[in-house]
Amino acid sequence: MRKEQTSLTYDPSHLKVGVLALQGSFEEHLDMLDGLGVNVVEIRLPGQLEGLDGLILPGGESTTIGKLAVEFGLLEPLRTFGGEKPIWGTCAGAILLSRDAHRTQPLLELMDITVDRNAYGRQIASFETELDIPVLKTVSDSTAPFNGIFIRAPLISSVGKDAEILAALPDGRVVAAQQGHLLATAFHPELTEDDRVHRYFIHLVLEKIRSLWQES
């Protein structure tokens, strides 16, 4: 599938977006953002969060990423960052953003969602499906469904009053949610050639920048 050629309505080189690079599929996010012209950096230490406009938490192993975040002194700085600026968590990153994962592990507890790990079974149960994600019309004229890639994917089992559902499977199981400037997807947009979800996250980053500018 070819990338859409819809023109962007911002200068992406003015933005600085980080990708947490402790473990998992961070390189694919780096490549996607680089293809959009965004100034993108790998994040491994607290000081590297300084000056970022937004941050992506990639897929991988949520327990491992959480433990490494604790080891590198990142957990509290990430919580503080997410209270002020946009964060997008994909798969394991969505687990890290949640308030509850039905097990003891480091969480940022920023989003009013509950996430179940490996909800669809082992690696062999991974699958792809077309998703209707209406908010993508914010950044694209395309009406095509988004190809959701689910690899040992979590399930957003509940969405609290502070968050909203963005996408679900035909049986109603929630796979994407948003809470203000925070975004969680149970699937892997970075493994496709469709950049619409990444562009939507950039839209959230720009909206947050505008709101902060208006408040100042």
Q: Which amino acids are annotated catalytic?
A: 91, 188, 190
Q: Considering only CA atoms, which of 80, 74, 109 is closest in space to residue 95?
A: 109
For residues 111 and 103, what is the distance between their CA atoms, to the nearest angstrom?
A: 16
- For residue 215, the cross-strand partners are none
Which positions ≥6 away from 52 have C-beta within 8 Å? 16, 17, 18, 41, 43, 81, 85
At 2 the three-state DSSP class reads: coil
CA distances from residue 99 to 40, 102, 104, 151, 182 in whole angstroms, order as listed = 27, 10, 11, 22, 13
For residues 62 and 105, what is the distance between their CA atoms, to the nearest angstrom?
A: 8
Could you give the dihedral angle defined by the CA atoms of residues 178, 28, 117 and 65, in that order, rounded to the nearest 10 degrees? -100
> From the CB of residue 118, how many other CB atoms can be counted at a distance below 10 Å?
13
* DSSP letter for each residue of 24-83: SSHHHHHHHHHHTT-EEEEE-SGGGGTT-SEEEE-SS-HHHHHHHHHHTT-HHHHHHHHH
